[in-house]
Structure 1
Amino acid sequence: MKLLGKALRTCAFAVLAGSLFPALTATAAEKEAPKDIVLTGDAKCTSCHDENDSPEALRIGKTKHGTVADKRTPGCTNCHGESEKHVKEAGRGTGPAPLVDVGFTKKNTATSPEAQNAACLSCHQGSTRIFWQNSTHARRDVTCASCHTVHDGHDKVREAKSQPEVCSNCHKEQRAQFARPSHHPVPEGQMSCSSCHNVHGDNPSQLQKASVNDTCYSCHMEKRGPFVHNHQPVAEDCAICHNPHGTNVANLLKARAPYLCQECHSHNSHPSQLAGLPTDRTTNTSLLGTVGRGCLNCHTNIHGSNSTVNNATAGRFRR
């Protein structure tokens, strides 16, 4: 009877306290059930990662991932995992909080690149990313977060002007080449790295097309041909003569004429010669090759020619 009486008195006190101090009970209820701030079900995370502690995390509301009206929009735990250990041990003050199960951070070394990328590929596996697992980037343990800023509305890698800045963090040689006088207008923002490269693809050099030539022809279609007289290096690979990222020679050429041409054409017709002038009037090509030193002065259609005039020399890519 004593125990029953004590229990009844405790219940009566709780009811009386609720009626006399409704504000206190309401505050306690709010603490027990925090409200979502950005995404559906994010209260579990934003109770700690709020505008004071992690304002950068809340910027996700300005991105496609923050479109709550879209039923496909994920919540925090869809990408980062349930992270029960992180929730239980956070705030102890005994050291850094444990990493989440799958974290979008460039410094996350506790989670394998495959596991981090799997969180993204669970939604973004199709389209140009369908062969990501066999790509050069994936084989070298590059993660989605290495290039993309998921929580920021301004993802630099998705804008033409800022994309080279992200790519050049690793591709420093190409950044130096773009600083040379002759280059594609990537630094000017008229093109971007993804204009030629599919960074999620698995073909050689991760190009947009199946080959170097097909990629180049998407803009330089006048060089495609077919021509009556085809220049074999042109049909094989544009990069034999051109460096697409930048050179010190006009037209992205790897070297100046005649040195570039004589890498192949040095055995006949115009043999390699030291620079000099003929000592007398002559028509000898072994001497005239030293005058002007410009193969393109005569061979103007170097990518291919349709000329049928003077068939004996029509295949020499003249007008």
Structure 2
Amino acid sequence: MFKTIKKGLLAALMIAGVGTFAPSALAQEEAQEGEDIIYQGDAKCTSCHDEYEVAPVLSIAKTKHGVTKDGRVPSCTTCHGESEAHVNKPEDVQVRPAPDVFFSKKSHLTAEQQSATCMSCHQGGKHMNWNSSTHAARDVSCTSCHQVHTGHDKVRDELEQPQVCYSCHKQQRAELTRPSHHPIPEGKMTCSDCHNVHGDNPKQLLRNSVNETCYSCHMEKRGPFVHNHQPVAEDCGSCHNPHGTTTASLLKSRPPFLCQECHSQSSHPSQAAGLPTASGVLGSTATGTVARGCLNCHTNIHGSNSTQDAITTRRFRY
């Protein structure tokens, strides 16, 4: 049907004398040969896999893979092979053999071999590092996440993409149900806002590091500051769990316990019961910071431009 429409439209334009649509005889012949090769390959499949089939194979016509715009668009046999035994079932076989190439967990091909079919076209851009990515190393194929024979690929839908990722990443699903989390369940962002699933950098992040990925949204935390908090400069994940926690601001635990993982009692003399106390400019007490958070005083925890004189003045003032 699509071939007939295309031929009819081209013929009508040529009859009408529309110059821009009237290719030379040689060009027409080459185009016709290319069309015949593609449609002969597709016709092997569409004679059985039509619009009445339970599995919506023919719906690929609604996708970019099914639109004939130039020679790069594949036919059915480009991806699935000639599959002669599948098309012409041998008489001595009860069950029709599978296509030469098919994509599922039951396939006789490895995940790497299945992905190689896709990579024969999708070689550049964001896919260029796929072969050295974490997903590829763990036997994840392209079709583990993507649906080709449908106009609605869930993993490309921002609202439905997390559900596809959750099918493997169950820990992250649990973390995102905690009280403090990035707004993925609310549909305001999705996994690929932070992760490049085709990339080969650590944790498959969009940027080169955890911090650079976080700074793409949290630019006010970037600095540079006069006084930098070193863990912030090294890795935001030192204090935060980006998927979700039970503590406000995605913190792994609440202050002062989180802070005490790095800061010993030597920074607050006369510490009592494992809790920090007031420092000794005006004298120190054994209960100076009991039941208080470090952020009561250290408000700019990511970095500060305050001078030492200002800090000293504040201490004497109080």
Structure 2 distance, partners of 1:40, 1:200, is 34
Structure 1 distance, partners of 2:120, 2:134, is 20
Question: Superposition pairs for residues 94-173 of structure 1, below 5 Å?
Answer: 94-95=94-95, 97-104=96-103, 106-173=104-171
Residues 179-221 of structure 1 deviation map (CA, whole Å, 9 limit, x = unaligned): 0011111111111100000000001000001110010011111
1:56 aligns with 2:56: yes
CA shift, 1:283, in A, is: 4.9
Q: Which one has the largest radius of gyration? A: 1
The one-letter amino acid paired with 2:74 is P
Matched residue, 1:71? 71
Structure 1 distance, partners of 2:272, 2:170, is 35
How many residues align? The count is 273
CA shift, 1:274, in A, is: 5.1
Residues 211-261 of structure 1 deviation map (CA, whole Å, 9 limit, x = unaligned): 100100111111111111010000010000000000011100000111101
Matched residue, 2:220? 222
Higher alpha-carbon deviation: 54-63 or 210-219: 54-63
Structure 2 distance, partners of 1:90, 1:179, is 53
Residue 306 of structure 2 aligns to a residue whose secondary structure is coil
Matched residue, 2:23? none
Question: CA contact under 8 A between 1:135 and 1:201: conserved in structure 2?
Answer: yes
Matched residue, 1:19? none
C-alpha distance 273-313 of structure 1, shift in aligned 2 (>3 A): farther
Matched residue, 1:201? 199
Question: Superposition pairs for residues 240-251 of structure 1, below 5 Å?
Answer: 240-251=238-249
Q: Of residues 172, 175, 182 in structure 2, which corresponds to 1:174? A: 172
CA shift, 1:109, in A, is: 2.8
Structure 1 distance, partners of 2:70, 2:90, is 31
CA shift, 1:275, in A, is: 6.9
Higher alpha-carbon deviation: 67-76 or 165-174: 67-76
Matched residue, 2:18? none
The one-letter amino acid paired with 1:308 is T
Residue 139 of structure 2 aligns to a residue whose secondary structure is coil
Matched residue, 2:80? 80
Matched residue, 1:27? none
Question: CA contact under 8 A between 1:149 and 1:155: conserved in structure 2?
Answer: yes
Question: CA contact under 8 A between 2:146 and 2:155: conserved in structure 1?
Answer: yes
Residue 48 of structure 2 aligns to a residue whose secondary structure is coil
C-alpha distance 55-170 of structure 1, shift in aligned 2 (>3 A): closer
Structure 1 distance, partners of 2:157, 2:91, is 38
Structure 1 distance, partners of 2:51, 2:92, is 20
C-alpha distance 111-54 of structure 1, shift in aligned 2 (>3 A): farther
Question: CA contact under 8 A between 1:203 and 1:210: conserved in structure 2?
Answer: yes
Higher alpha-carbon deviation: 304-313 or 229-238: 304-313
C-alpha distance 112-313 of structure 1, shift in aligned 2 (>3 A): farther
Give the TM-score of the pair, scaled to structure 1: 0.79
Residue 41 of structure 2 aligns to a residue whose secondary structure is coil
CA shift, 1:66, in A, is: 1.4
C-alpha distance 77-276 of structure 1, shift in aligned 2 (>3 A): closer
C-alpha distance 176-44 of structure 1, shift in aligned 2 (>3 A): same
Give the TM-score of the pair, scaled to structure 2: 0.79
C-alpha distance 91-126 of structure 1, shift in aligned 2 (>3 A): farther
Higher alpha-carbon deviation: 305-314 or 121-130: 305-314
Unaligned runs of 5+ in 1: 1-35
The one-letter amino acid paired with 1:83 is S
